[in-house]
Amino acid sequence: MSEQPQDMIVSFPGGQKVDANLFGFDIPTDQSVKSGGEASAPEPFLLFLASIGTCAGIYVLRFCQSRKIPTDNIQIRQKLIPTPEGKIGKIALHIEVPPEFPEKYYDALVRSANGCAVKKTILDPPEFEVKTVVREQ
pLDDT tens sequence for the chain (137 residues): 455 668 999 999 999 999 999 999 999 999 999 999 999 999 999 999 999 999 999 999 999 999 999 999 999 999 999 999 999 999 999 999 999 999 999 999 999 999 999 999 999 999 999 999 999 98
* Domain assignment of residue 15, yes or no: no
| pTM score of the predicted model | 0.87
Instruction: Report how many domains make up the chain.
Output: 1
* Domain assignment of residue 135, yes or no: no
Q: What CATH code is carried by the domain that includes residue 88?
A: 3.30.300.20
| Domain range for 84 | 42-123
Collect all residues with Cβ–Cβ distance below 8 Å to 16 and sequence separation of at least 6: 30, 31, 35, 36, 37, 38
